[in-house]
């Protein structure tokens, strides 16, 4: 399944569950697992999320690999144009006041870690796509 041995899939799911319970980064799990199995971190990440998504619609996968798990895939919330434009304006205004981008995003998100990451990633993506034009 997914080019992995069944034992590897169980190991990956268990390590992800442990990391979640300890409040640790899944990125570290993917990196460590990739190093131990000779796979790229991104490949491990993609396989993990595909397995999780498949478990939401396939009972046999859920029962086999995630029987008592609280792991789930969060729905991706896309930015609409107005939201992206407002984010950019707030960051640019804050920069003219001498604030760092990190501080501005922290203020905008009201210290919500998930929201901070979402805004930070969107801002970086906007910079990258603007540079290519």
Other beta carbons within 10 Å of 89? 10
Residue ranges in 23-58 assigned as alpha helix (H): 26-37, 41-57
CA contacts within 13 A on the Cβ side of 129: 7
Tokens of residue 51, six digits? 């397995």
Residue 66 pLDDT more than 90? no
**Which of these, 98, 97, 115, lies nearest to 106 by C-alpha position?**
115
When the pLDDT of each residue in the chain is averaged and rounded to a whole number, the result is 87
Position 24 confidence tier, pLDDT thresholds 50, 70, 90:
confident
Distance CA 116, CA 118 (A): 5
3-state secondary structure of 53: helix
Can you give the pTM of this predicted structure? 0.59
Q: Reply yes or no on whether the pLDDT at 73 is more than 80.
A: no
What pLDDT is recorded for position 133? 53
Q: Give the pLDDT band of residue 71 (cuts 50, 70, 90).
A: low
Give CA separation, 63 vs 10, 29, 107, in Å.
12, 22, 42
Rounded mean pLDDT of 51-76? 80
Inform me whether the pLDDT recorded for 70 exceeds 80: no
């Amino acid at each position: 399944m997914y080019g992995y041995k069944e034992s590897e899939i169980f190991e990956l799911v268990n390590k992800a569950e442990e990391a979640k319970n300890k409040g640790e980064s899944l990125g570290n799990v993917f990196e460590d697992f990739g190093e131990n199995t000779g796979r790229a971190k991104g490949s491990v990440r993609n396989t993990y999320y595909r397995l999780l998504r498949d478990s939401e619609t396939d009972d046999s996968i859920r029962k086999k690999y995630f029987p008592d798990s609280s792991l789930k895939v969060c729905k991706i919330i896309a930015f609409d144009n107005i939201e992206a434009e407002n984010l950019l304006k707030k960051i640019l205004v804050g920069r003219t006041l001498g604030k760092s981008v990190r501080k501005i995003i922290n203020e905008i998100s009201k210290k919500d870690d998930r929201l901070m990451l979402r805004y930070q990633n969107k801002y970086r993506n906007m910079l990258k796509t603007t540079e290519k034009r």
